[in-house]
Amino acid sequence: MNYGFIKAAAATPRIRVADCDKNANMIISQIKEAHSNGAALVTFPELCVTGYTCSDLFLQRALLKSAEKAVLKIMTETKLLDIVSVIGVPIDSKQSLYNCAVVIYRGDILGIVPKVNIPNYSEFYEARHFTSGEYADEYINYAGINDVYLSKNQFFQCADMSEFSFGVEICEDLWVANSPSINLTSAGAAIICNPSASDDVISKEMYRRDLVKIQSGKLCCAYIYSGSGFGESTTDMVFSGQNIISENASVLAESERFTQGLTYADIDVQKLMGERRRINTYNDYSGILNIKKVYFDMPVKHTKLCRKFEQTPFVPSNKDDLSKRCGEIIKIQATGLATRLEHTGIKNAVLGLSGGLDSTLALIVSVHAFDMLGINRKNIHTVTMPCFGTTKRTKSNAEKLAGAYGVSFEEIDITLAVRQHFADIKHEEAITDIIYENTQARERTQVLMDLSNKYNGLVIGTGDLSELALGWATYNGDHMSMYSVNVSVPKTLVRYLTAYEAQKSEGMLKEVLLDVLDTPVSPELLPPDKEGKIAQKTEDVVGPYELHDFFLYYFVRFGFTPSKIYYLAKTSFKGKYDNAVIKKWLTVFIKRFFAQQFKRSCLPDGPKVGSVTLSPRSDWRMPSDASVKMWLDDLEKVN
């Protein structure tokens, strides 16, 4: 449960219809198994104590009393375990019979939640036996516990970890328009448990999965769906035991159908609560919904993660999804530029083409935008500006790219201009310091801006999101442009977008794009080595971009603490980077992110393509003078 992770389980026991004692033994066995595997919450299917398919036997007093004894047995056998169990059972109260979920923890019943929406159609004819729990609101004595609250209007919260909170709705309650989970999450529940019994027919499992995903996304919650399986009567139906655990529209885990057992997932309740705080339309209605909050005392313990966190969170792991995503991103970028060109009436663009990744992607986007508008590609004026650090390889690739795309190309050597500036400011050329580097960067930007006047064109920015996060840009140098097409594309994704374009290309264009991908990332502001190869490699100075993009994603998108990001990075990059290296570069990231905000506060316009962007106008507003101490202190306390 540390860092907000709750290991949850969805269980499908092998049952026998109307044999409550046997079913209780199976449930107890799975609770113990879930507990031994570190789960803090386990959800069982609808009416699993008796079996969902008892039909008119539900009206038999013997079955109801046997079910109550079975619940007492489950409570007794699990009273020493720190795990909450949600178990389906029929319960009679006064003159009604309810389809309920009993919430059990350490030998006690925290509450009983009745099913609200009782189906009365074809195969599901529950209305013959059960009463809707819509208006049930009473305290009953059940399984040896006095004054147990029976109502849909309650959810459950860990006293020592407020984010660990959950509510319950039962099967059909999910399928209707006004699900109880809507109010439960609005009142504060982070997780919804659904004990269910849903029969299987062709393609129904896909609809069921989509329904769970959408509900978890719509309500910004985790959703645990536990379905009945083997042992239910097959007189007219078959139950496959489909278990699904979804978090904010992403399926974390799903069982293989027509099996029994436990399905586990690590739910990040801190992330869910952070998302709700970020979404200002997610209002807190706890004061007006009259929903009771029931507390339970569970010690906060370490959660051994089985959940995987991709090393490149900005990049889809599925190849088909990746290809589709790349095409969509380039279209968004190109549409943004095309719209700006059309609005201004400008039909020319000026682009500094270095032969590196970022400027290559900017050229790709520019070509797509001009094709979209039907403007001659020759109106894209690419310029290579060699100086002290330019290598033959990158210079050659810039020229080849321009030729392959059929855009205008010119070379302007800025060496003399930079040397003149050194003389003007009395700087020794032999001193290859920040002045030496930034003079080149600013001279290039000056050339581009002046060419934009000459050609009546927009200067296209090439800097990417990762560079903005680190402040790895020369202020009023490559930091500035008239429209920045890569502004919300992180470096790890720049590489995949370029590779996507290469895949679609042929001949010389494909060859040069692949060579660009194979070129080390460098601003080329320091002289090459003795062999004429790139000596200045960005990642040697600021650290691996794959690490920084990982840090950036979880820091900005979810507001995670540095200690939590470090914990996730250790898990994700285990075997690739040791802990000391990860901590070193995370420290660099945090320091630079805070210190370099002033560069982001005056960014040029550029299109948003994903959920993480640093535009000061829309997505990231941060004072340039904010103290970094609190974040560094948080990281310092971990090993």
Q: Are residues 374 and 414 in the same domain?
A: yes
Dihedral sign (CA 393, 394, 397, 403): negative
Distance in angstroms (rounded) separating the CA atoms of residues 130 and 90: 9
Mean pLDDT of 100-112: 98
Task: Report the pLDDT value the prediction gives residue 528, as an integer from 0 to 100.
Answer: 86
Task: Report the pLDDT value the prediction gives residue 535, as an integer from 0 to 100.
Answer: 75
Q: Are residues 327 and 209 in the same domain?
A: no
Distance in angstroms (rounded) separating the CA atoms of residues 159 and 297: 5
The DSSP-derived string for 365-417 is: HHHHHHHHHT--GGGEEEEE---TT--HHHHHHHHHHHHHHT-EEEE---HHH
DSSP alpha helices (H): ranges in 136-292?
172-175, 180-186, 204-218, 269-278
Task: Report the pLDDT value the prediction gives residue 391, as an integer from 0 to 100.
Answer: 93
Task: Report the pLDDT value the prediction gives residue 285, as an integer from 0 to 100.
Answer: 73
At 286, the pLDDT band (50, 70, 90 cuts) reads: low
Among the listed residues 555, 556, 544, the one whose alpha carbon sits nearest the alpha carbon of residue 612: 556
DSSP alpha helices (H): ranges in 190-278?
204-218, 269-278
> Does 564 fall in a domain?
yes
**Residue 225 confidence (pLDDT) above 60:** yes
Average pLDDT of the chain is: 95
Provide, rounded to the nearest whole percent, the portion of the chain with pLDDT above 70. Answer: 99
DSSP state of 596: T
Q: Which amino acid is at 312?
A: T
Residue 609: its H or E element: none
Mean pLDDT of 415-439: 96
Q: How far is CA 327 from its chain centroid?
A: 20
Catalytic residues: 46, 115, 171
Distance in angstroms (rounded) separating the CA atoms of residues 567 and 570: 5
Task: Report the pLDDT value the prediction gives residue 593, as an integer from 0 to 100.
Answer: 98
Where does a domain end: 265, 296, 327?
A: 296
Q: Which amino acid is at 109?
A: I
154-158 vs 292-296, strand pairing mode: parallel
| Residues in CB range of 251: below 8 A, 6 or more apart | 209, 212, 213, 244, 245
Residue 532's CB is within 10 A of a number of other CB atoms, namely 11
Q: pLDDT tens, 368-411?
A: 999 999 999 999 999 999 999 999 999 999 999 999 999 999 99
> Does 287 fall in a domain?
yes
Q: Are residues 391 and 510 in the same domain?
A: yes
CATH number, residue 84: 3.60.110.10
> Does 571 fall in a domain?
yes
**Residue 1 confidence (pLDDT) above 70:** no
Task: Report the pLDDT value the prediction gives residue 288, as an integer from 0 to 100.
Answer: 72
- Supply the pTM of this predicted model: 0.91
Task: Report the pLDDT value the prediction gives residue 536, as an integer from 0 to 100.
Answer: 81
**Residue 237 confidence (pLDDT) above 70:** yes
**Residue 122 confidence (pLDDT) above 60:** no
At 459, the pLDDT band (50, 70, 90 cuts) reads: very high
Task: Report the pLDDT value the prediction gives residue 287, as an integer from 0 to 100.
Answer: 67
Q: Are residues 268 and 184 in the same domain?
A: yes
Q: Are residues 323 and 288 in the same domain?
A: no
Q: pLDDT tens, 506-538?
A: 999 999 999 999 998 887 778 888 788 877 878
**Contact (Cβ atoms closer than 8 angstroms) between residue 41 and residue 84:** yes
Distance in angstroms (rounded) separating the CA atoms of residues 423 and 605: 35
Among the listed residues 144, 67, 73, the one whose alpha carbon sits nearest the alpha carbon of residue 98: 67
Q: Are residues 287 and 139 in the same domain?
A: yes
Counted domains in the chain: 2
Q: pLDDT tens, 555-602?
A: 999 999 999 999 999 999 999 999 999 999 999 999 999 999 999 999
Task: Report the pLDDT value the prediction gives residue 36, as an integer from 0 to 100.
Answer: 97
Among the listed residues 192, 190, 185, the one whose alpha carbon sits nearest the alpha carbon of residue 163: 190
**Residue 501 confidence (pLDDT) above 70:** yes
Mean pLDDT of 31-58: 97
> Does 551 fall in a domain?
yes
Task: Report the pLDDT value the prediction gives residue 289, as an integer from 0 to 100.
Answer: 82
Instruction: Identify the burial level of 288 via C-beta atoms within 10 angstroms of its C-beta, where 0-12 means exposed, 13-18 middle and 19 or more buried.
Output: exposed
Q: pLDDT tens, 288-325?
A: 788 999 999 999 888 889 999 999 999 988 888 899 99
Task: Report the pLDDT value the prediction gives residue 15, as an integer from 0 to 100.
Answer: 97
| Residues in CB range of 277: below 8 A, 6 or more apart | 559
**Residue 202 confidence (pLDDT) above 70:** yes
DSSP state of 356: S
Q: Are residues 467 and 562 in the same domain?
A: yes
Per the structure block, which two tokens stand in for 180?
Answer: 């109880």
Q: Are residues 130 and 27 in the same domain?
A: yes
Mean pLDDT of 239-256: 96
> Does 308 fall in a domain?
no
Mean pLDDT of 59-68: 98
> Does 314 fall in a domain?
no
Distance in angstroms (rounded) separating the CA atoms of residues 567 and 3: 8
Mean pLDDT of 62-72: 98
Q: Are residues 359 and 269 in the same domain?
A: no
Domain that includes residue 261, residue range:
2-296
> Does 304 fall in a domain?
no
CATH number, residue 613: 3.40.50.620
| Residues in CB range of 271: below 8 A, 6 or more apart | 4, 247, 248, 558, 560
**Residue 47 confidence (pLDDT) above 70:** yes
Q: How far apart, in Å, are the Cα atoms of 98 and each of 19, 134, 292? A: 19, 10, 20
Mean pLDDT of 197-209: 92
